[in-house]
Amino acid sequence: MQVIENLKVKEKVYIEKLENGLTVMIIPKKGMEKKYMIWGTHYGSNESSFIVPGDEQVTNVPNGVAHFLEHKLFEQENGTNSLDVLTALGVEANAYTTNDHTAYLFECNDNFYEAMDELMDYVQHPYFTDENVEKEKGIIGQEIMMYDDYPEWRVYLNAIQAMYHNHPVKIDIVGTIESISKINKEILYQCYQTFYNPSNMAMVICGDFEPQQLIQEVKKRLTNTKASGEIKRIYPQEPEEIVQHKIEQKLEVSQPLYTIGIKDNPNQKQIVKKHIAIEILLNLLIGRSSLLYKELYNEGMIYFQPSLEYEFSNGYAHILISGQSNKPEIVYEKFKEEVEKVKKEGVQEKDFERIKKMIYGGYIKEYNDVSDIARMFLADYFKGINSFDYLEEIKGITVEYLEQILKDVFKEEKMILSVVKS
């Protein structure tokens, strides 16, 4: 068992790769009552074209299969729904699908091993029939229609579609009514067998546990499945250029919503260092303590700090700045002006140090909550990152590096504006 310790947060992660290829990460939290378990597969909405280990032919499946599978795994052959079973145990259980992974989880104070029994049972025993697949199409179809009218989702998805020509990140995670109509039980079983192999999965457990003992408990509950070879994921060629600079949609909203997007080069060299630098830059440019934020707030153009994100995974990377404004176009123009001003005048050392300390404090704070820790370690693992890297890499960020990232990433020709108005 590998042990990685970070002295800054006084935390250890115990990592064991089992014979079947499953990676198990345990983060012990002595004296903490809450316990959290999350089991994920490196399979999200982006994987609709792939080569199964041992095959030579490319397999293409409809969009939305990963999310459809997530819904169906709870349904058991004996007629029960595992989500109901877990709720009856008094645990908070859930599941989610992202662009690059799907995860099943629960949080509890008591009944941990009973909940672990249920979670590990349903994830390893899929049950699909023609009837239950058809029934699910209706449920997911309603979800798709609901999201089509959801302004916060539309302003986000429109932003992604304004940036990307071909990459599947531009496709809604749930798919479309048309794409899910093509899903059948054979496709679900094929994708399950391919992507739910233990060698493509990882498990993170956080709480007051003894790691060696807990590993034995995990092993006891695993089915006898052998590790498979590498899955070849196929993504279409994506041009560097954006699709369009502005996209607008009319929906019922009290105030217009906006997302400013910046398409980035998906080359993931030194990705953690780059991610931290972008986080610092976003806070310097339009964070709560920035001059631009104060100006926009005082002029009544924005009412709260926009959300600032850098998203990246296989074949894509982008910045998203999202919020509400009665004049989103002016917010966009002012942001572009601020970027050019900082490029010209440089980053102020005192502002840089202040923001850097604030972000470092945020990283430390994440280690107070078992759910934050577990979800972070899982998501980072599928990106090839150890979450402790952020605590180490932040030390090496300099003003010079920041200014280089500002020049390389914050280019006007790569910027888009997505707006949803009444």
Catalytic residue numbers read 70
Closest CA to 419 of 332, 314, 318: 332
Largest CA-CA distance found in the chain, in angstroms, rounded: 67
Q: Rounded to whole angstroms, how far apart are CA atoms 343 and 196?
A: 46
Alpha helices in 14-80 (DSSP H): 65-72
Q: What is the 3-state secondary structure (H, E, C) of 225-245?
A: CCCCCCCEECCCCCCCCCCCC
Which tokens go with 80? 């029960």
Which H or E run contains 213? helix 211-220
Residues in a beta bridge with 257: 324, 420
d(CA 184, CA 16) in angstroms, rounded, equals 36
- Residue pair 197/227 in contact by the 8 Å Cβ criterion: yes
Q: Using CA atoms, how far apart are residues 170 and 173, in angstroms rounded to an integer?
A: 9
Listed residue (361, 385, 352, 387) closest to 280, CA to CA: 352
Confirm if 111 and 89 have CB atoms less than 8 A apart. yes
Are the C-beta atoms of 82 and 119 separated by less than 8 Å?
Answer: yes
